[in-house]
Amino acid sequence: MKFFIDTANLDDIAEAQALGVLDGVTTNPSLMAKEGITGEENIINHYKKICDLVEGDVSAEVISTDFDGMVKEGEALAALNPQIVVKLPMIADGVKACKYFSSKGIKTNVTLVFSVGQALLAAKAGATYVSPFLGRLDDISTDGLHLIEEIRHVYDNYGFETQILSASVRNTMHVINCAKIGSDVMTGPLSSITGLLKHPLTDSGLAKFLADYEKGNN
């Protein structure tokens, strides 16, 4: 399973990259605003900085909600760097734009997906990635993981190549369960990745190894 980090924070991206397990980055307008990145020029420059930090795919979300606007924005974003994946909302014009970009060989990520039907449409439109929002479903007492499982089943039935990018991942258990279900990618905050490191037996075991080494060498 690929690990993407879901942030526009350059320090967090660099830390995940340094760990050696990062496969890409996802962003959205809220994450950009959280870092104080506003205005078209600053946002474009920020995408360039993110692409310089990582080797994998970087999702850049369009703001337009009409087909022509999405195409114009998406083409400009894709021209920034081959790593850029045009992130499109799951609305009718987003599906049309997805078909347009996929037929041109431009990578896409269809976002704000909350149902199997929406995921099926994204795959039919040739999306590179589909982003079901696991955490936001859990937030409203709906089983987000079950949605990922159903999408996996449907995609496997027909051999769709669209990769399931489990989004809105919030914690380590989300990451582990996504891996168990067969999600192709997960995107979450840095803590959902670094949290996987933690185990008290690792810490106590390492402390004992080091103490025993010291004893033997003194």
Catalytic one of 34, 48, 87, 104: 87
The answer to the question of residue 131 lying near ligand E4P (CB under 6 A) is yes
Give the residue, chosen from 136, 152, 154, 194, that forms a contact with ligand E4P under the rule CB under 6 A.
136
- Give whichever of 26 and 102 is closer to ligand E4P, judged by the CB atom: 26
The answer to the question of residue 162 lying near ligand E4P (CB under 6 A) is no
Which amino acid is it at 13?
Answer: I
Annotated catalytic residue 87: yes
CA atoms within 13 Å, Cβ hemisphere of 175: 20
Site for ligand E4P in 7-46 (CB under 6 A): 26, 28
Q: DSSP for 28-93? A: -HHHHHHTT--SHHHHHHHHHHHHHH-SSEEEEE----SHHHHHHHHHHHHHH-TTEEEEEESSHH
> Which of 94, 110, 113, 97 minimizes the C-alpha distance to 151?
113
Give the residue, chosen from 83, 111, 163, 183, that forms a contact with ligand E4P under the rule CB under 6 A.
111
Q: Let me know: does 61 contact 47? Beta carbons within 8 Å.
A: no
Closest approach of Cβ 203 to ligand E4P, in Å?
29
Residues that bind ligand E4P (CB under 6 A): 6, 26, 28, 111, 131, 133, 135-136, 167-168, 187
